[in-house]
Amino acid sequence: MVAKERICYYYDEAVGRNYYGPNHPMKPHRLCMTHNLILSYDLHEHLQIYRPRVSTSEEFTQFHSEDYVSFLAKITPDKQQQYAEQMRRFNLGEDCPIFDHLFDFCKRYTGGSLDGATRLNQGLSDIAINWSGGLHHAKKSEASGFCYINDLVLAILELLKSHARVLYIDIDIHHGDGVEEAFFMTDRVLTASFHKYGDMFFPGTGSLSDIGVNSGKYYSVNVPLNDGINDESFVDLFKFVMREIMEVFQPGAIVLQCGADSLAGDRIGCFNLSLKGHAECVSFMKSFNKPILITGGGGYTKTNVSRCWTYETATLLGRELSEDIPPHEHYYEYYADGGYKLTAYAPMWIENLNSEAYLSQVKQQVRENLKSLTSAPSVEFAEAPPVALLPELDDNDLNPDERYGGSRGLDALVSHTCEFYDKD
């Protein structure tokens, strides 16, 4: 069934031009692949497409420390040795390298999430999509896990200006530690993360016993999983947990981080989810008819990432896609890995170590924790803080470049000469 919701979509080709460095698993150019695949399926015809506003340092400091933001703004690759002490202090280096135009990269991916949250607050859209966002590991005063500025935290803070309660959900294979930490002591944001836990897997947090503190006790919900979980187990567990949360917490708005490293065949991940299983979580949360911000996140097999986020864009639109990927100008040959099909390419499957007994134990513990929640905690608004204003633009007043993220979205091929792994 075709969606009736107003869905806005943010894309800036400049984000995809950035390059973390040779052999680094994070490849921003996956965003250009995603956008071109969305265009090839003609999904853009059903979206309100915008180039995100470039966010500001002042907006970053709504969460991040001023000294950290100031350092990100001034550091460049040729100055790293000069600022070696600050590099260590802010956890910058191997995992979070300094590359050309880093601060501009942060401003642009964060702008999409902030603009999306603002449109939701103002009732201009029902669903906002920013596949370039979802950098959930960044902390108040340090980078972490390929993430520099936590656009999710900033977007949630924006949503809290209009909503008493906001629900954050994370289906990336890595624990959403940066977002959880930011709201660990409040009952206005409930964070729910479904992730691989144990075996020294990054970031090493997110056990069942991590439930929040003070006013936020029981408002951090963690669902730790073992290697190899499949669609049936993951979706069943996801729906069980989220039904319970929605009934008790009753959020005014939802933020859903859709990291694609939980798919089968990911270079870093170790789950067995298909596109359909991953997207079923998106579809389920959409069914609650709450304002919802959808972001990207992890995902290190580029072709699977673009397949996933295209499939989920179609899911949000209520549209079926052909399994045969349409030929298109720039990236079509990349999809030879899966026979040009819209399915997650997985050269090998991982044994499912999540027994029924273990999953039942997780369900029981989560349910017990949720019983301790205050049902729909109330918040008094003596005076609502100002909501950031967006210009009320008619699409017809925008030129094609503004409307479709750059040359009607048909950006030039974006790749770096060192972009590929040996087997890419």
Which residues are identified as catalytic?
137
Token readout for 81 is: 């040795």
Cα–Cα distance measured from residue 286 to residue 293, given in angstroms and rounded to the nearest whole number: 10
Pairing of strands 127-130, 253-257: unpaired
Give the DSSP H/E element, type plus range, for residue 366. helix 356-371
Nearest to 297 by CA among 165, 131, 423, 157: 131
Instruction: Specify the amino acid at residue 299.
Output: G
DSSP conformational letter for 46 = G
Token readout for 288 is: 């609650």
Nearest to 100 by CA among 83, 77, 81: 77
Nearest to 152 by CA among 21, 253, 241: 253
Q: What's the CA dihedral at 19, 305, 154, 224 to 10 degrees?
A: -120
Q: What's the CA dihedral at 66, 57, 107, 294 to 10 degrees?
A: 80
Cis before 203 (ω within 30): yes
Answer whether 223's CB lies under 8 Å from 366's CB.
Answer: yes
CA distances from 382 to 159, 379, 385 (A): 17, 9, 9
Give the DSSP H/E element, type plus range, for residue 278. helix 275-286
Rg (CA), the chain: 20
Cα–Cα distance measured from residue 331 to residue 342, given in angstroms and rounded to the nearest whole number: 14
Cα–Cα distance measured from residue 77 to residue 79, given in angstroms and rounded to the nearest whole number: 6
Cα–Cα distance measured from residue 227 to residue 337, given in angstroms and rounded to the nearest whole number: 24
CA distances from 365 to 227, 241, 361 (A): 20, 11, 6
Cα–Cα distance measured from residue 133 to residue 253, given in angstroms and rounded to the nearest whole number: 17
Helices 102-121 and 66-74 sit at what angle, rounded to 10 degrees?
130
